[in-house]
Structure 1
Amino acid sequence: MPHWKIKFLFGGTAYVQKKFARSNTFFNDGYTKLGNDIIIQAAKDYRDVLKKLNKNSENSMAKHTKREIERFFHSSLFGMITTMDPDMLIRKLNEEVVDYE
């Protein structure tokens, strides 16, 4: 089954894998790409919101967004899209932003 990589800014790679199996390759590849794109965008958004919170820890909109993304990372949808450990992903993204700053 195909994998997509999430390359972390300061080394390391996480692999995203689609769990659904369909007989139609085109159908499977399309949903695999969609699922991976969703996770990659959520990781980018999480990274951006962490940077905002580093600049202003009282930013209520950023705090809310951070909680929503963390909720997605721990959701059943995330678990259906990938076998990646959500806590590992959150930890790695936090480490990236700390190292970046």
Structure 2
Amino acid sequence: MEDGFSNLANAIIIQAVKDYREAIRFLKTHPHTPDLDTEEAKTDIRKITLLNEIIKNEGERDDVERFFRSGWFKALTSLDGEAILKQVREMEVG
């Protein structure tokens, strides 16, 4: 039973890292810039779509950061969530 729990815990953590990498990679190439918040941008479907994707990825990034700092993460593993976040950020942002 312990192997099953460990496998599930590892799969959850691996998926969280993948989601985090994808979100910060997207945000690196598509930052939330002030021009996306103008009245003019609110009528441009391309800018609306981009802003929605940015907001989605910001939310994903924030959710994963909360997970790695949570009690649930600590219940799953003895790994250092803050260290994992830092390492992934360094790999993706440089």
The TM tier, using the shorter chain, reads: 0.7 to 0.9
Aligned equivalent of 1:32? 6
Unaligned runs of 5+ in 1: 1-26
Give the fraction of aligned pairs with identical amino acids, expressed as a percent. 33
Higher strand share: 1
Task: State the structure with more CA Rg.
Answer: 2
Higher helix share: 2
How far off is 1:60 after superposition?
A: 1.1
Q: Within 2, Cα distance between the matches of 1:62 and 1:78?
A: 21
Q: Within 2, Cα distance between the matches of 1:66 and 1:94?
A: 11
Unaligned runs of 5+ in 2: 33-53
Higher relative CO (CA 8 A, sep ≥ 6), structure 1 or 2? 2
How far off is 1:87 after superposition?
A: 1.1
Aligned equivalent of 1:43? 17
Give the ranges of 4+ consecutive aligned residues of structure 1 lying more than 2 Å apart after TM superposition: none
- Give the count of matched residue pairs: 73
